[in-house]
Every structure is written in structure tokens, then in C-alpha cells.
Amino acid sequence: MSLRERTLQELFQTLTGIEKGDCEYYPCHFEGQDCSFCFCPFYPCLIHETGGMLKDDRVWSCLRCEFIHKKENAEELKGILSSYPFQVLAEGDWRFYNEILQEFLFGDVRGREIGESYTIYRSDDGEECYLVVLDGFEIKQVERGRCGELRGKRGVLLPVR
């Protein structure tokens, strides 16, 4: 089973109220965390404000992400995601999930198309950026360069932080 299939399976269990058993890794983020979304439905979110970061040019690390494990956030996200039919959630692409997350975190969708690129962040042409190429929900390639040079390419533009 792929990571995405496992994530969707867990998401549907969470939304239908199926209880999780004990986890040998608890707590993986902090004591008292809400584990409703052990496999984050937004992964890889590519949003720095979550505490996540690009690591080793192929991995979005969620080690410092805590927002989805805070009880109030997990409850609100369950409500938001349960408003969609399961078929829509199953067929949703990275951008669909990312824009739900943007709306939750920022109060609106900040993402926009710039040529072939999609970006959540404003950046200057001379600023260092990553161009993250996704295949579904998997990071396939990361290119680093000046934002202005990467904007015309297909992928998600992410400022280096």
C-alpha cells in the first residue's frame, strides 16, 4: 500500500469515527497530542508556517509540525474534511488539499499560478527558491535557483528558508 493510500485509509477512518489503538511511537510530536491525523492528509504541504521544511532535496520533514496535532485544529479539520464527499477526497490532488490547508491556516487561498509554477509565497526574482516537482503527492525532483529563473518551470515554487 502506498503512503497516499494509507493516508486516505486513515483519513476515512478518522472521519467515520473509527478509534485508533495505542501507538508505540506516541508521543511523536508532543505529550497530549491529538493523533487523528497521524498520516497527514496534506503531506507534503510545502508550507513553512506548519513547522515543516524541505530536507535532503526529496523529503518534506514534518518533525517540527505540531499544528495538526493540536486538538482544536484536528477537530476543526475533521469538520472541514467531512464536508466533502469521500469520492472528492479520494480524487483530490495535491493542490486541492493544499488549498484547504491554506484556507485553514491563513483564512484564504494565497496560492497562485506564475507561468507554469504554483506558489503560495511572494518572492523577488533574485531570491533563492526551490522548484519542487510533484508526482501526485510524492516529491520527484527539487531544483534550487533564483526565483525568477524557476518561475517558468512546472512545479511548486518555494522560497529557501
Q: Is the peptide bond before 44 cis (omega within 30 degrees of 0)?
A: yes
Phi, psi of 25 (to 5 degrees): -95, -5
146/144 Cα distance (integer angstroms)? 7
Q: pTM here?
A: 0.90
26/117 Cα distance (integer angstroms)? 38
Residue 131's H or E segment, with its range, is: strand 128-135
Helix (H/G/I), strand (E/B), else coil: 101:
helix
* Exposure string over 70-106, b if 16+ CB within 10 A, otherwise e: eeebbeebbeebeeeeeeebeebebeebbbbbbebbe
Full pLDDT tens readout for the chain, 161 residues: 888 998 898 888 888 887 766 667 655 666 677 778 878 999 999 999 999 999 877 889 988 888 888 889 999 999 999 999 999 999 999 999 999 999 999 999 999 998 889 999 998 999 999 999 999 999 999 999 999 999 889 999 999 98
pLDDT of residue 46: 96
> Residue 48 has what DSSP assignment?
G
